[in-house]
Amino acid sequence: MLLAGCGLSGPEDEGQGVPMAVSTTSSRTLVQASRQGDGPSGVTADAGVFSVPGASRSVTVGGSGGDTLVIDFVALLVDDGRMAPRTVEACGGDSACAQLQSRATGFTIPLDGETRPQLETRVGVGLYDRVTFRLITASASDSALLDSLPEFEGQSILVKGSFNDAPFTVTRDLTGTVEFTITPGLDITESTNATNLTLSTTVTSWYQLADGSVLDPRQTTGRLTEELIEASTSAFPDQDGDGEPDRTGPGSQ
């Protein structure tokens, strides 16, 4: 689901190109990601009001030291989404990159294992191998968003859950760019009618270390970095939206 106040958005010339959705899902397989510095939640929206489903739709992580982390809700605020063709080194202002957004979009990561569309757009013919987004912070102009999630003011990432049964709300104000390699590449051809790109994030790797111990998110917000988000997220063609990379169809060659 989209965050309140943020609708499906794409390039200004929406009549051109192939229809494409960008979806998110969660992976429960632990990915050991490099950490800077110190070393699936279903969400529904009804008239802009968010509700977090019960524990069965949360991610629970048991630490080797006996700690228990439950993650109920994860959201990121992003802007300037772009897909890079294999022939382009970096997007920047390069017109060869496909623009995915015309305004800020809220991405929730469904922790219940489902795959949910976050934005719809149109892209031109080409073989794309990277997708980038810029993390931005919510401001007073995002009034509809802040009415539902006031904790997002001045922040770009919001995580809710509990640590050893103590509830927490953790926010971060990251404003860097994250880039994900699309594997295999997303091949948009003249015969492509519509397709989907899925971003799958292993949220548990944000807080679980290689030795099996679990970090208390309330004490370790500084550990969540753009590099960690990149390392914990995979991007792949997913035409049927089942949360698994395509084995046939666009990008499967």
> Residue 75 corresponds to which amino acid?
A
Q: Residue 166 contacts by C-beta under 8 Å, 6 or more apart in sequence?
A: none
Neighbours of 189 (CB within 10 A): 10
Q: pLDDT by residue (tens digit) across 134-144?
A: 999 988 767 77
Main-chain phi, psi angles of 152, to 5 degrees: -80, -10
Q: pLDDT by residue (tens digit) across 97-123?
A: 899 987 888 899 999 888 999 999 999
pLDDT of residue 103: 81
The burial class, CB within 10 Å (0-12 / 13-18 / 19+), for 182 is buried
Sorted by where each begins, the domain ranges of the chain are 18-237
pLDDT of residue 83: 94
